[in-house]
Structure 1
């Protein structure tokens, strides 16, 4: 099963401005190394795990040692997610497929893509990660004012919690 890696790199200290040329070069190098190693998508989770101890990956980690603060919770890095009790997974999938078009129509020309987290923190809970594009944070809040939001919010009944992050692309990458 192909796998996509989503990495959250929280910047620390003066790196938060993204104006550090050395950090930008490190991020460019990381992108190049990861694209070459994964060909934009890992063939399997095992292929990704095999890359982690590699010399290439260890060099990447050294590049970021002063600029990235790794916050862990129970040993796992936390990203964007919707938490779904295991017994509600099938219902969530069915409901999401029914309302997906509402989000896709609103976010055009940006796509909507999602998937289930492979590494579980809790065997009784699944994590759905959704990526979609919006022009701005304000544009995202406008989605909550649309007619279709009533139907879209029905997926909330399947989740036990969720997190929303609004990342932005770093210039120069």
Structure 2
């Protein structure tokens, strides 16, 4: 099964939340980058813009393995890709380009399920759950117990999650990260979930995490 790449591209220029339209030069570079990535991996790639901070872009795509992607990162094709963004992307520092992988194919939907990809939604919830290594099994057990609550709220959009392959450290200890994607009609539609009665059970997963981060993504107009 393929794994998923998540690359975050922080633009050098600020993009206003009230006017998130990207410069044409950035659109052109993203279009070319998508072609390069898909040719190298043989799988689909999609590019999104964060709603809360429109200057953050997300490349999400599939590879046969993390090793296959890492080989590409050393290839001339990737150097060409990076050169496309040399004037538009921050590459270093706390707000620099980051790349990592999930152990799950986040795009594929079983046609017989009657569901649609979360990535077709107007607003895509990108939830990062930070879990201590010793609570990984307990967390996923609880998540599977309450997952249906979120699925009922987001139907017919699929809820899909995966574990981050590359581990981070927090307070000197390695920690796990569970990333969850789900689709909504809007950010407000997602926020309204917390006001429903079933959410009282769903929020039990909070007892198994050290912290979490919630952001929302949207498709970029003008990209194929």
Provide the TM-score with structure 2 as the length reference: 0.70
Name the SS of the counterpart of 2:89 in structure 1: coil
Residue 72 of structure 1, CA deviation: 4.6
1:43 maps to 64
In the alignment, structure 2 segments of 5+ residues that lack a partner are: 44-61, 100-125
1:150 maps to 200
1:104 maps to 151
CA RMSD of aligned residues (A): 2.3
Divergent runs of 4+, >2 A: 14-19, 69-80
In terms of fraction of residues, the more strand-rich structure is 2
1:107/1:71 Cα in 2 relative to 1: closer, same or farther (>3 Å)?
farther
In terms of fraction of residues, the more helix-rich structure is 1
2:78 maps to 57
How far apart in 2 are the matches of 1:112 and 1:139?
15
* 1:126 pairs with one of 169, 176, 182: 176
1:147/1:165 Cα in 2 relative to 1: closer, same or farther (>3 Å)?
same
Residue 145 of structure 1, CA deviation: 0.8
1:18 maps to 21
2:215 maps to 165
In the alignment, structure 1 segments of 5+ residues that lack a partner are: none
How far apart in 1 are the matches of 2:214 and 2:93?
18
Q: How does 1:68-83 map to 2 (within 5 A)?
A: 68-70=89-91, 72-73=93-94, 77=98, 81-83=128-130
How far apart in 2 are the matches of 1:111 and 1:130?
11
How far apart in 1 are the matches of 2:220 and 2:63?
23
The answer to whether the 8 A contact 1:18-1:24 is kept is no
1:4 maps to 4
Aligned residues: 173
